[in-house]
Structure 1
């Protein structure tokens, strides 16, 4: 990412190292500013996880970091044979748009787990 000097010429910044770490039921991203992103889930039952929150600091958006966080949870779910209910609006959008996530998308009445403030409800497939 580059910024502009006052005279309009671009300032080149070196790429920042961003590290992903597992934290509780989810993952966080750390950069030079500390925590810059996170995804979390809760358990609906022994076989189903509810992704309830995904966020990336505004300065770091547009780099695919939220999708990387989602991919960590999806891979964990696949490895453990779990299903996912995408309750947060970002996760729901990704599940609706990407057929490669269908193997972990929980069928049934997902609306009872949705966060109406962030996702406007979760539709069942």
Structure 2
């Protein structure tokens, strides 16, 4: 049987907004119940959870409180184990979840002279420290080599990456 989820919130609560922002950034869709707008939700929270505290994530009817604990659960359940793939797009390489949410990217717009400007790298905090930016840069280098384009890195990470990987210096403009 599938696990059921409901997140009880108050829109004005900064801890609730933190959880909602995390869910949005990772494409996680869980039904929300605002206890200020839904009297039944408030009563359910008090009856089942034993107190009126938000955010509260009900997992198969069992309450979980504290925004950091909820985010850690969501990360393990929906982000860490979610299938992901590198997506080579027009002048960008992105690491996406199965539902299409970009968790990391390197962008390289065309300079117009047969070269590109590697101007931006981003890695979601949940993936930092795992070598993701380096994997994106290597994929970018392979794509530039495949297409015959040269690189002009202006992003500090990209500049450092090329210094640390002299095997790709032939791609520099």
Shift of 1:23: 2.6
> How high is the TM-score relative to the length of structure 1?
0.67
1:25 aligns with 2:118: no
Q: How far, CA to CA, are the matches of 2:129 and 2:84 in structure 1?
A: 14
SS of 1:42 mapped into structure 2: coil
Report which of the two has the higher share of helix. Answer: 2
Number of residue pairs aligned between Structure 1 and Structure 2:
96
Runs of 4+ in 1 over 3 A off after TM superposition: 12-16
Point out where structure 1 has 5 or more consecutive residues left out of the alignment: 6-11, 107-125
Match of 2:141 in 1: 74
In the other structure, the counterpart of 1:61 is: 128
Structure 1 counterpart of 2:109 = 42
Structure 1 Cα separation of the partners of residues 127 and 108 of structure 2: 22
**Residue matched to 2:167:** 100
Cα deviation per residue 1:44-89 (whole Å; 9 max; x = unaligned)?
1231111011110011011111111111221111112221011101
Q: Deviations over 1:12-55 (max 9, x none)?
A: 87754321112321111113782210111111123111101111
More strand by share: 1
- Secondary structure, counterpart of 1:46 in structure 2: coil
RMSD: 2.2
Indicate the larger mover: 67-76 or 87-96: 67-76
